[in-house]
Amino acid sequence: RLFSRNGGRAEVFLLACCQISAIGLSNFGMLMGPLATVGAWLSNLPVARDDARWKSVGCLAVTMLAVPYLTIVALQSGGSPLRNFPNEAPEDVWRTVFGSRQQYWVGLMLLAGPLLTRDTVLRWRLALPVLLLLGVYLNPWLAGFISEYVTTPPVYWRVVWSFPVLIFLGVSLTEVLRWMRRERSRAARAILGLAMVFATIHALPMHTLRSSNINVYALGAVWKVPAQHLDVARTAIGLSEGRGRLLAPDEISGVISRFEQHPVLIQTRYGYLDLMRPGIEKRQYTLRRLLMDFLKERGADDLSGVGEALRALGVSTLVTHDLSGNPSLMSWLQTQGYRLHVSQHGYQIWGRAE
């Protein structure tokens, strides 16, 4: 509408408001807001009117709203632990997002759609995903810069994940089927048809609703966690009775944190502690690191510091992996004032006696 006869300053103002909202809602929005705007701008270039030059300039100027924020974040993140994560290679991101099998179907549709459609404007719009994905997002010469200075390495893949590829694939499939109906060459139709059939057969065994995938996450979209972990989390919350703090392995503490009402957690993820390090005291970091290593290693050779950390951080409920094969460690926990409440799904839940 911005490039149409009726489009004007109101549309530019609305676009600016959307950009500000995207930037304000999340750090990721500061990237996706401008990218979405540029994508919409590029897709409408073939239908832009001659008198829409100032509108084009205004549209692109709106994307500059994120530049100061991006610059500040880049300058202030020099010592961030996020920089310690390795950069993902573009080909790894492609397989991570589209799947090691589905990637062939996705690639076929992304290329076939713009090549086979007769509509010039539609061909340009279907070519945009290829231009943006391969020319910018997954460009091996730009990937390192985007990963390190724009998205940070841990979320580089989300740039591709957030792009509406499914919409373009659906339109491309429609154009491919139209081409096959009007194409006179049987050989050409047979080659493309066989390519589509082979890509489908290759990808079909790895569909999302396969039983091996559903059984792992039996709770579906409600929780998307193993049912056993949810059972242990609920039991730990019930036994804690709202007193003191709770310490548990990552897979359990992460589920507990999703409840609206839950005990105060010592940690939710092992990897988060280094991210929090600049904002917490050195002693707090040391105590938490000691306890998290204790859980991860399922014990420790020197337990003197662990006992002090448990008392200093006020851990009243402790979830460990099953320690029945380590009676000396179980005895040590009892000397620290903990009593075994229940064993469940390969975990043990301990409570400190008041």
Q: Confirm if 313 and 338 have CB atoms less than 8 A apart.
A: no
Range in 7-11, 142-146, 180-184 with the lowest mean pLDDT = 7-11
User: pLDDT band at 186, cuts 50/70/90?
Assistant: confident
Burial of 210 (0-12, 13-18, 19+ CB in 10 A): exposed
Q: Over the stretch 238-250, which tens digit does the pLDDT of each residue have?
A: 888 767 899 999 8
pLDDT greater than 70 at residue 31: no
Q: Quick one: average pLDDT of 230-257?
A: 89
Total-model pTM: 0.66
Q: Distances from the Cα of 199 to the Cαs of 13, 109, 193, 324, in angstroms?
A: 45, 10, 10, 49
User: pLDDT band at 25, cuts 50/70/90?
Assistant: very low
Q: Helix, strand, coil shares of the chain as percentages rounded to 5?
A: 65, 5, 25
Q: Over the stretch 283-295, which tens digit does the pLDDT of each residue have?
A: 888 888 888 888 8
Q: 212-225 b/e with 16+ CB inside 10 Å = b?
A: eeeeeeeeeeeeeb
- DSSP secondary structure of 198-233: HHHHHHGGG-TT-HHHHHHTTTHHHH-S-HHHHHHH
Q: Which tokens is 89 given?
A: 């290679």
- DSSP secondary structure of 25-65: H-TTHHHHHHHHHHHHHHHTGGG--GGGHHHHHHHHHHGGG
pLDDT greater than 50 at residue 39: yes
User: pLDDT band at 348, cuts 50/70/90?
Assistant: very high
- Mean pLDDT across the chain, nearest whole number? 80
User: pLDDT band at 197, cuts 50/70/90?
Assistant: very high
Per the model's pLDDT, the better-predicted residue between 151 and 298 turns out to be 151
Longest dimension (CA), the chain: 84
pLDDT greater than 80 at residue 158: no
Per the model's pLDDT, the better-predicted residue between 130 and 276 turns out to be 130
Q: Over the stretch 80-126, which tens digit does the pLDDT of each residue have?
A: 666 667 778 888 889 888 888 888 999 999 999 899 988 888 888 88
End-to-end CA, the chain: 68
Per the model's pLDDT, the better-predicted residue between 354 and 188 turns out to be 188
CA distance 277 to 51: 55
